[in-house]
Amino acid sequence: MGGYVIRRLLISIPVLFLVTFLVFTLIEIAPGDVVDYFISPESMQYTTEADIQRLRERTGLDQPFLVRYGNWLGHLAQGDLGYSFVESKPVSDLIVEHMKNTLPLMGLAWVMGIVIGITLGVFVGLRQYSVWDFSLTGFSFLGLSIPAFISGILGLYIFSVRLGWFPAGGMRTAGGEGSVWDSLYHLILPASTLALMDIARNMRYMRFSMLEVLNQDYITTARAKGLRPRLINYRHAMRNALLPVVTVVGLSLPQLVAGAVFIETIYSWRGMGTLYLNAVSGRDYPVIMGVNLVFAVMVLAANLLTDIAYSMVDPRVRFED
Amino acid sequence: MTEHIESMTNNSVPVVNLEANARIETPTQIAWRRFRRHRLAFISLIVLVIITVMAIGAPLFTQYNPDEMSLRDRALAPSSTHWLGTDNLGRDMWSRTVYGGRVSLEVGLAAAGISTVIGVILGAISGYYGRWVDMVIMRITDVVMTFPPIIIMLTVAAIAGTGLLNVILIIGGLRWPATTRLVRGQYLSLKNQEFVLAARTMGLPDWIIITRHILPSVMAPLMANVTFAVSAAILAEAGLSFLGMGIPLPTPTWGNIMENARSLTILQDKPWMWMPAAAATLLTVLCINFVGDGLRDALDPQQQMS
């Protein structure tokens, strides 16, 4: 066990370094640098080449690429992600501030995906070729094909504009005292639309996995010795069918992040997605770098945890190379 | 030895039905017959052909120029003169939707083409040569896959700028890891087969073995992958344009038409300005995915359902 975890960790380290290098290089290629932000258009005519040169020296921009990358890594290791060009706040503060709003959204969507998706998957897996199976499998196909920006808009249009069940975006009622219930009320619709793809995918995998397990010899054996069907379905079949789904659940993070960018935009949610999108349209490179890094680290960590969790529930993995 | 003969016969191309009237079918014919039996996939294919024909022959199916503004006809609801109404600048929505399909399909096909070519080349090299080459390529793939797709696409779009060509290159240039992994896996398992060994014994150069001997066996799983790549690319373009970082106006695409829905008044009171584009995107993507599913089933050699 310990050996497997260490081996798996060692693989992640070069990937992490390559990720930081890629992020740094990308921004390096970008036209313009921090000096352009220092010089306002009004002061442009008074600025000489020598002034710019001095500024570049002071900000360390005149140093070679690899030296700057090293410096940047050093700051990064201390949690220093630099300053936003636009908001003149440390990038790390901005990220923490927006992450507080994104985590409930992505977290709820993730949990909904697991609970609803797996429940439905088991339900239809036990009823192959029934009406339920056809309609829910059809739904899962739709759920897998519909992108977050369409499901988000349709959700907003149907449940908020037409039916009036939910507020049309925002995180709390304007002027309200901001109770937990109010926040939850605002959270449900965005989280549900974000969860749609996860629900569909988890259901599809769970159904497939259930069908496969139900064909195994040990299920036939359990049936032959006269065990109660409930016991066979839930104790024998479901538990084993859950194994491969662990991986799917753990690897859904990138999609969730991508979906959150659209859902947050549509529902005016002040989370990481909106922060990132504003940074992208404002060419606020330090924020772009910071958000990219945070997301990449989150994905790497999720992959790592998934592999470890999988090796824990399925010991066979640890022994193969 | 028997195993050897078996694999030889499995790879021999024509399937001979000895019992009946000895009809000989090529693999393509078998696949096509199986595909047609997949009803939903077959219907989807027909719908896709219709959509493609309309996109290519857009001027034949529309009576207005998609970019022509008419201040007198602003924000009209659907009627007999404007089938899907007009937008806030008086442009005909039906024309914009049809012409938008042209751009969306173009981006989807071109980007999927680029990502497939990159994916096949890297995957083939990685799987065939293995060892450190494989190590390097796989680590690069890991790194690219670590970034959520739309996030890294937006970053590159912010740096390289938007526009049709950039969007195609960005999507194509970042969508290859999935293909690479698939192709690599195929090459890994195929390179130890007898026919590859035979080719090598005959002294054929590596690139001939990679392209002429192994690649045809990879085509079946690759075909389904390509169709899914097309739908993913169409969605990526729509997503980027929806966020205002894709193909800029006035060029219509389904994505930037849907950008209208980001205004609450349009979302609420003028559904004709965004619904047709959303419906067209969804229909196209659903159809492509159904065709992909049908292709995967039809080309799967494991499925011995004759």
Nearest residue of chain B to residue A140 (CA atoms): B286
What's the CA gap between B172 and B232, in Å, rounded? 10
Model pLDDT, residue B271: 81
Looking at the complex, does the CB of residue B286 fall below 8 Å from at least one CB of chain A? yes
Phi, psi of A153 (to 5 degrees): -65, -45
Q: Dig out the tokens for A123 from the structure.
A: 């339900």
Query: A269-279 pLDDT, tens per residue?
Result: 888 989 999 88
Report chain B's C-alpha Rg in angstroms. 23
How far CA A10 is from CA of A195, A292, B177, B304, in Å, comes to 33, 22, 22, 43
Model pLDDT, residue A160: 80
Model pLDDT, residue A44: 64
Say if residues A233 and A126 touch (Cβ distance below 8 Å): yes
Model pLDDT, residue B7: 45
**Average pLDDT of B83-107?**
81
Q: Residue B143: is its pLDDT beyond 50? A: yes
Nearest CA distance, B160 vs chain A (angstrom)? 7
The domain spans of chain B are 46-60+97-299
Window from A3-12, A146-155, B49-58 with minimum mean pLDDT: A3-12
Say if residues A252 and A201 touch (Cβ distance below 8 Å): yes
E strand or H helix at A204 = helix A180-214
Say if residues A271 and A105 touch (Cβ distance below 8 Å): yes
What's the CA gap between B201 and B205, in Å, rounded? 10
Nearest to B159 among A26, A148, A276 (CB): A26
Q: How confident is the model at residue B36 (pLDDT cuts 50, 70, 90)?
A: confident
Nearest CA distance, B122 vs chain A (angstrom)? 18
Q: How confident is the model at residue B8 (pLDDT cuts 50, 70, 90)?
A: very low
Looking at the complex, does the CB of residue B264 fall below 8 Å from at least one CB of chain A? yes
Contact partners, residue A228, CB within 8 Å, separation at least 6: none
Interface test with A, best of B141, B154, B169 (most A CBs within 10 A): B154
Model pLDDT, residue B234: 92
Higher pLDDT, A163 or B25: A163
A293: nearest Cα among A60, A72, A67, A7: A72
What sign does the CA torsion over A205, B230, A252, A146 have? negative
What's the CA gap between B44 and B35, in Å, rounded? 11
Query: B258-274 pLDDT, tens per residue?
Result: 888 777 777 777 888 78
What's the CA gap between A272 and A97, in Å, rounded? 9
Looking at the complex, does the CB of residue B22 fall below 8 Å from at least one CB of chain A? no
Q: How confident is the model at residue A319 (pLDDT cuts 50, 70, 90)?
A: low
Query: A231-270 pLDDT, tens per residue?
Result: 888 888 888 888 888 888 888 888 888 899 999 988 888 8
Q: Indicate the residue type of A174.
A: A
**Average pLDDT of A293-304?**
89
Q: Classify B46 in phi/psi space as left (phi over 0), alpha (psi -120 to 50) or beta.
A: alpha
Pick the CATH number of A91-313 from 3.30.565.60, 1.50.10.20, 3.40.50.1820, 1.10.3720.10: 1.10.3720.10
DSSP A221-274: HHHHTT--HHHIIIIIIIHHHHHHHHHHHHTTHHHHHHHHHHHHHHTT--SHHH
Q: Residue B201: is its pLDDT beyond 60? A: yes
Q: How confident is the model at residue B1 (pLDDT cuts 50, 70, 90)?
A: very low
Q: Residue A321: is its pLDDT beyond 60? A: no
pTM of the model: 0.84
Q: Which CATH class is domain B46-60+97-299?
A: mainly alpha
- Percent above pLDDT 90 for chain B: 17
Calculate the average pLDDT of chain A.
Answer: 83
DSSP A53-107: HHHHHHTTTTS-HHHHHHHHHHHHHTT---B-TTT-SBHHHHHHHHHHHHHHHHH
Nearest to B261 among A153, A276, A296 (CB): A153
List beta partners, residue B24.
B16
Model pLDDT, residue B20: 54
Window from A293-302, B9-18, B238-247 with minimum mean pLDDT: B9-18
Q: How confident is the model at residue B19 (pLDDT cuts 50, 70, 90)?
A: low
Nearest to B139 among A14, A283, A292 (CB): A14
DSSP B94-105: HHHHHHHHHHHH
Query: A93-103 pLDDT, tens per residue?
Result: 889 889 988 99
What sign does the CA torsion over A42, A43, A45, A49 have? negative
Model pLDDT, residue B5: 43
Nearest to B282 among A18, A30, A146 (CB): A146
Q: Indicate the residue type of A234.
A: Y
Q: Residue B256: is its pLDDT beyond 80? A: yes
CA end-to-end span of chain A, whole Å? 13
Nearest CA distance, B287 vs chain A (angstrom)? 10
Window from B70-74, B166-170, B205-209 with minimum mean pLDDT: B70-74
Window from A44-48, A120-124, B88-92, B135-139 with minimum mean pLDDT: A44-48
The domain spans of chain A are 91-313
Peptide bond into B250 cis (omega under 30): yes
Q: Residue B302: is its pLDDT beyond 80? A: no
Nearest CA distance, B34 vs chain A (angstrom)? 21
Q: Residue A37: is its pLDDT beyond 70? A: no
Model pLDDT, residue B108: 92
Owner of token pair 């494989």: B134
B112: nearest Cα among B60, B15, B178: B178
Q: Dig out the tokens for B240 from the structure.
A: 């980027």
Cβ–Cβ below 8 Å for B245 and A281: yes
Q: Residue B282: is its pLDDT beyond 80? A: yes
Classify B25 as helix, strand or coil.
strand
List beta partners, residue B92.
B86
Q: Indicate the residue type of A265.
A: T
What's the CA gap between A48 and A54, in Å, rounded? 10
Model pLDDT, residue B9: 46
Q: How confident is the model at residue A199 (pLDDT cuts 50, 70, 90)?
A: very high
- Percent above pLDDT 70 for chain B: 89
- Percent above pLDDT 90 for chain A: 11
**How many other β-carbons are positioned within 10 Å of the β-carbon of residue A124?**
25
CA angle B145, B148, B151 (to 5 degrees): 125
What's the CA gap between B117 and A107, in Å, rounded? 37
Looking at the complex, does the CB of residue B75 fall below 8 Å from at least one CB of chain A? no
Model pLDDT, residue A36: 66
Say if residues A294 and B146 touch (Cβ distance below 8 Å): no
Classify A128 as helix, strand or coil.
coil
Query: A61-105 pLDDT, tens per residue?
Result: 677 778 888 888 888 888 787 788 777 788 888 898 899 889 999
Count, in order, helices (H) and strands (E) of chain A.
15, 0
* Chain A residues touching B261 at Cβ < 8 A: 153, 157
**Average pLDDT of B280-295?**
89
Q: Classify A26 in phi/psi space as left (phi over 0), alpha (psi -120 to 50) or beta.
A: alpha
**Average pLDDT of A140-151?**
88
